[in-house]
Structure 1
Amino acid sequence: MADPASYRPRPGEIPTTPGVYRFVDDHGRVIYVGKAKNLRARLSNYFQDVANLHPRTRTMVTTAAAVEWTVVGTEVEALTLEYTWIKEFDPRFNVKYRDDKSYPYLAVTMGEEYPRAQVMRGAKRPGTRYFGPYGHAWAIRETLDLLLRVFPVRTCSSGVFRRAASSGRPCLLGYIDKCSAPCVGRVSPEEHRTLAEDFCDFMAGDTARFVRRLEARMKEAAAEMEYEQAGRLRDDIEALRRATEKNAVVLTDGTDADVFALAGDELEAAVQVFHVRDGRIRGQRGWVVEKVEDVTDAELVEHLLQQVYGAVDEVSDVEGAAPVRDAVPREVLVPQLPPDPKQMAAWLRGIRGSRVDLRVPQRGDKRELAATVHANAEHALMLHRTRRAGDLTTRSQALQEIQEALELDTAPLRIECYDISTTQGTHQVASMVVFEDGLARKGEYRHFAVRGPEGDGARDDTAAMYEVVTRRFKRYLTERSETDEPDSDFTDAPESAEVGPEVPERRRFAYPPQLVVVDGGPPQVAAAARALADLGIDDVALCGLAKRLEEVWLPGEPFPVVLPRSSEGLYLLQRLRDEAHRFAITYHRKRRSKGMTASVLDDVPGLGPARRKALLAEFGSVKKMRAATVEEIGAVRGMGASTAAAVVEALSTVSRDTVAAPPDVGESIATESK
């Protein structure tokens, strides 16, 4: 552990202006990001006697090896830059908001030529308007089914849309008038976009306008004795009303607000938000926060607003994106004001484009609704504790058992596992999976195409393992040396700077593991140990897990370490090994499929690299391409009828040869040679 005095800036070196600072460890990894009105005053708090610091802050400053900062013009710019850096570097000591479950949204892809309405989860995409989140996907589908009577927008996938366009026949929804069928030209792109915009306006809360418009048209049809048309319009009005009534009225004055609540203790907290539009609850969302730093409730609220509305700012700042008024309401009701409410309100106003009222509800219906949201937060925290109590204990026990079994100095908080996958020596690949604190960190996963000395693969698994470990840790040494170079952009930024400098690209391999696990026995362990020794790396522990008897092998040891079958440490190592195997197999199958497709299509007359790439992008695998018809292949961009027929003939020929071949030729499943 480092002594904070060893990297404390010299007196007078830190400016007294607003800015954002970063603590980095000895590997150059950003471990904490913060902002301050006065950088000198804020940073001095970290360099007092460590005994007086909060335990989590003490751990952070003793883990760090340097502090860097950037001066900005205003406190609002500091808020924005802090959010950007937290998203960029994912610092381990910053507050992390994790969804307590996966929430579905009703999304309309306004960035496409023919916008599509669909259920979406995960990260928000530019050019798409989102409504929700909903508690269940079926609730979205019920609402969408009702609204398609009035707003028959496209809901089909791109593949279905292209097939309908090439055949000239719409899908079922087009025949039953729940789609305007732009695929076959029933409506123009402009008319379909107008339908999609009306659909979005209705979902955003502008419901009365469409009901009034349909009522006027119904009366006109009845006056002209077009009773069948009037009856259909009456049913459309009823469908709109049913869709609107699915959300209960909670605020009768038609308020647009997001209502936040917080419930927790010193270690963790649960957050809930109700999205209220036009007085109705349009969505609900929750997060669970592990307090890895010493923060107050006011600071948690500030970080929460950054988390929720910072993503809105990113997605909306592109051409064709949704208006941010849909996502940032007129009122933001919080359980406690952030440390600088005026600054936060100014930031929200900049995103929305108009005034945002940030306050704590004191009385009336809004206070009662805030109490309801708080009750939901308490319930969510209780469920989280029930589900995670055993898991937290088990993970800690597993890491401790691995530490004791392998005689490590500390528990291996970061573990990397490597696996090799090949089919009879062809298409050799390797995987690297990462677990931190006993949990998979999928954003850190990597795969490798094994090259070999001649560029055609390694001779066996041990040579492949040596190559992959060498390549990974060579990158580590290279990026570590780059990190060690002084970077004046951050440590001595001019006080006149109004915005932060360019942030360096996040290094992919600069953070080493405490433990490397390889899938295999003594030969694979020896190969990995030789790779580490050749690079001069002696501070990373190494072991192998052999499948046959689940034995743990250490470098140079004649006998394995045998963990009890009921050991949580063994179970964690098995999960690592299985995850590395799954990741390697997935990549191997992908490469093999592309390789087979390329070899089959190389001899097709008139099929060049661009068309081969288009076919692979459209169908994704040999199996799907073989199942396609001439018309479906011809519908791919750049393909003609004669070329499509030649492709089908080539694939059918290979298919007949494969059937006639022995079982271990052609479509054999990727397996390891260990």
Structure 2
Amino acid sequence: MADPATYRPAPGTIPASPGVYRFRDADGRVIYVGKAKSLRSRLSNYFQDVANLHPRTRRMVTSASSVEWTVVSSEVEALTLEYTWIKEFDPRFNVKFRDDKSYPYLAVTMAERYPRIHVTRRAKLKGDRYFGPYTHVWAIRETLDLLLRVFPVRTCSAGVFRRAERSGRPCLLGFIDKCSAPCTGAISEADHRVLAERFCDFMAGNTARYTKEIERRMREASAALDFETAARLRDDLAALTKVMERNSVVLSDSTDADLIALAQDDLEAAVQVFHVRGGRIRGQRGWTAEILDESSPADLIERAIATLYADAAAIDPGSGEPGASAVPHEVLVPQMPSHVEDVRALLGPGVDLRVPQRGEKKELLETVAKNAEESLRLHRLRRAGDLTARSKALEDLGEALGLAEPPLRIECFDISHSQGTNVVGSQVVFEDGLPRKSEYRRYAVHGEAARDDTASMHDVISRRLAKHLDPPEVSDEDARRFAYPPSLILVDGGPPQVAAAQRAMDELGVTDVALAGIAKRLEEIWLPGEEHPVILPRTSEALFLVQRLRDEAHRFAITYHRSKRGRAMHESALDAVPGLGPARRRALLDRFVTVKAIREASIDELEEVPGIGPALAQQIAAALQSEAPAPAVDMATGEILD
């Protein structure tokens, strides 16, 4: 671990100009790339007292052994150069976006004598037209099969084309009218090129022109009693309509826009992009990223925009031209990037970068955000399902906490409440790094134990470990599950919660279970009686496992708390009914669930509830009807509104 003072450049040697800087480790590898409006101001922040630095920044500067920079003429050039270097050097302390799949394109080889349509994932060639990217190859092939009825452009390879040319016989597609057979001279070179251009025009979004033309020809054929031609044109029109349904209009106008959304937690982020051309979704892309620096959501949005548009080889999903600018007329984001003016300059003039506030574009952006959340969830599941990663996580966690062996069974506890009311606790169980939901438990906390989080944690841990100490009966399956001791107990919180849990363990004499607390920042693991926390590396599988445990315990606690709070609200509405005690209130809610349903129930239905007689049923109905919400009244006419 290096001391940053050993390689700190003299302040006078650092220019005050915009530029990009690189930190290198002892082996000369670039470990971090950043940009700055003023290199002198920015770099001086890294060489202050390391105790004042953020933990991630501290790890970076102590891992480095040198720093260098390049001066550029503007902040826009700095943004572009930063992206280029991150892509080239793959620094481990930068956010790294990784494409989550390989996307296929539909290509039309306009540079050839007889243009050909085919599906490709390879590098783009000059002069060809490209459409996409698309999500699935099979979807492209189904679409192409329909379009070949109307635009029978050649799809065969060069070898097949030459064999048909020599033999004078077309291939199968030529016989079934899904190829115009330029190989046999059935169509001239010029007419075949026009056919290919019409196909490209349709794929670019100019669909109405061709559907109207086919409708006109179909009517003319029908009027001329040429029903065979009319039927063929009808089928062609149905094929085009089906293609347009597959690329359904998502925006009412012919918008060209890219919509970018982000989902993240403390460790990772997922970005999703929808490419909309001519009002239709023409492509979707996604990346995942490990957050290894101090990037905010605005920083990640800026990095995503640079990733999309700083590459000179980008392909415009609308025009399909290689090397052309992939920037559409609009770029819609959930929040503006960190350096808005720099990003606007990068996008170029005429591009509207904004956050949609209402309407269909905002709704579509919410859909993109849901896809980003789903992408992040699937990324976590794939990572959690990796047996090697799970084993490594348990080993790393056991080593970090000083355990004799990896904690094969971990129980995590969390407390949830609303300003001290309806206090509940949750217990989630992970075995071999995977959740055991059948052994999750919920705790309702009452009385003195509900006064604060530490008292609640003490109560929950005491009740859990009491089951462990009490020998279960053979027939009591639930007690046997509680009796199985965990290797490690994790509590959500810092030193106060850990101290409360340790006090419960000491009172019960439990010494065979390890204990630790998870601080809110997730990098910190607190052990009982320790003055300083254990810091797990940001890239460790152990930290990912701890995060999953904490999130699952929090989710389980919140779910129970909401259900308990809702039930308490309904019970409070029944408090004013004379003669209705707690047991009968619970019986009513078990039957009808809500106060509204009880209010709408008949007297006979109320009498069916155990403990509710005719007199009490009448009292319940009268009391709830008197508390029913007042009807709405039209202030102008005085009439009661429905």
Q: TM-score range by the shorter chain?
A: 0.5 to 0.7
User: TM-score under structure 2 normalisation?
Assistant: 0.56
Measure the CA separation in 2 of the matches of 1:73 and 1:178: 56
Aligned match of 1:346 = 345
Q: Does 1:382 pair with 2:381? A: no
Aligned match of 1:358 = 353
Measure the CA separation in 2 of the matches of 1:43 and 1:185: 69
Letter in 2 for 1:332: V
> Is the 2:314–2:322 contact (alpha carbons within 8 Å) kept by the matching residues of 1?
no
Measure the CA separation in 1 of the matches of 2:41 and 2:338: 16
| Higher-Rg member (1/2) | 2
Task: For 1:253-332, list aligned pairs within 5 A.
Answer: 253-311=253-311, 313-314=313-314, 321-322=321-322, 324=324, 327-332=326-331
Identity of aligned residues (%): 68
User: Unaligned regions of 5+ residues in structure 2, if any?
Assistant: 400-540, 542-642
Deviations 1:256-278 (A, max 9, x none): 22222111112101222222222
> Is the 2:130–2:321 contact (alpha carbons within 8 Å) kept by the matching residues of 1?
no
Task: For 1:103-502, list aligned pairs within 5 A.
Answer: 103-121=103-121, 127-219=127-219, 221=221, 227-311=227-311, 313-314=313-314, 321-322=321-322, 324=324, 327-349=326-348, 355-391=350-386, 394=389, 397=392
Q: Tell me the secondary structure at the aligned position of residue 65 of structure 2.
A: strand
Deviations 1:601-648 (A, max 9, x none): xxxxxxxxxxxxxxxxxxxxxxxxxxxxxxxxxxxxxxxxxxxxxxxx
**What is the CA-CA distance between 1:301 and the residue it aligns to?**
0.6
Aligned match of 1:599 = none
Measure the CA separation in 2 of the matches of 1:6 and 1:390: 44
> Is the 1:104–1:119 contact (alpha carbons within 8 Å) kept by the matching residues of 2?
yes
Measure the CA separation in 2 of the matches of 1:20 and 1:60: 17
Letter in 2 for 1:81: L
Identify if the C-alpha distance between structure 1 residues 169 and 96 changes in structure 2 by more than 3 Å, giving closer, same or farther.
Answer: farther
Aligned match of 2:43 = 43
**What is the CA-CA distance between 1:22 and the residue it aligns to?**
2.1
Deviations 1:470-499 (A, max 9, x none): xxxxxxxxxxxxxxxxxxxxxxxxxxxxxx
Aligned match of 1:98 = 98
User: Unaligned regions of 5+ residues in structure 1, if any?
Assistant: 405-567, 569-674
Aligned match of 1:435 = none
Identify if the C-alpha distance between structure 1 residues 119 and 21 changes in structure 2 by more than 3 Å, giving closer, same or farther.
Answer: same
Measure the CA separation in 2 of the matches of 1:8 and 1:198: 63
Identify if the C-alpha distance between structure 1 residues 182 and 364 changes in structure 2 by more than 3 Å, giving closer, same or farther.
Answer: same
Letter in 1 for 2:359: G
Aligned match of 1:81 = 81
**What is the CA-CA distance between 1:189 and the residue it aligns to?**
4.7
Letter in 2 for 1:50: V
Q: Tell me the secondary structure at the aligned position of residue 12 of structure 1.
A: helix
Aligned match of 2:68 = 68
Deviations 1:506-556 (A, max 9, x none): xxxxxxxxxxxxxxxxxxxxxxxxxxxxxxxxxxxxxxxxxxxxxxxxxxx
Measure the CA separation in 1 of the matches of 2:312 and 2:229: 42
Measure the CA separation in 2 of the matches of 1:191 and 1:293: 57
Aligned match of 2:422 = none
User: TM-score under structure 1 normalisation?
Assistant: 0.53
**What is the CA-CA distance between 1:330 and the residue it aligns to?**
1.3
Aligned length: 395
Letter in 2 for 1:377: A
**What is the CA-CA distance between 1:371 and the residue it aligns to?**
1.6
Aligned match of 1:609 = none
**What is the CA-CA distance between 1:386 and the residue it aligns to?**
1.6
**What is the CA-CA distance between 1:51 and the residue it aligns to?**
2.7
Q: CA RMSD in A?
A: 3.1
**What is the CA-CA distance between 1:335 and the residue it aligns to?**
1.1
> Is the 1:164–1:170 contact (alpha carbons within 8 Å) kept by the matching residues of 2?
yes
Measure the CA separation in 2 of the matches of 1:107 and 1:53: 51
Which of 1 and 2 has higher RCO (CA within 8 Å, sep 6+)? 1
> Is the 2:35–2:82 contact (alpha carbons within 8 Å) kept by the matching residues of 1?
yes
**What is the CA-CA distance between 1:398 and the residue it aligns to?**
8.8
> Is the 1:125–1:315 contact (alpha carbons within 8 Å) kept by the matching residues of 2?
no
Measure the CA separation in 1 of the matches of 2:190 and 2:34: 47
Identify if the C-alpha distance between structure 1 residues 345 and 141 changes in structure 2 by more than 3 Å, giving closer, same or farther.
Answer: same
Q: Which moved further from structure 2: 138-147 or 50-59?
A: 50-59
> Is the 1:37–1:75 contact (alpha carbons within 8 Å) kept by the matching residues of 2?
yes
Task: For 1:574-653, list aligned pairs within 5 A.
Answer: none
Identify if the C-alpha distance between structure 1 residues 127 and 28 changes in structure 2 by more than 3 Å, giving closer, same or farther.
Answer: farther
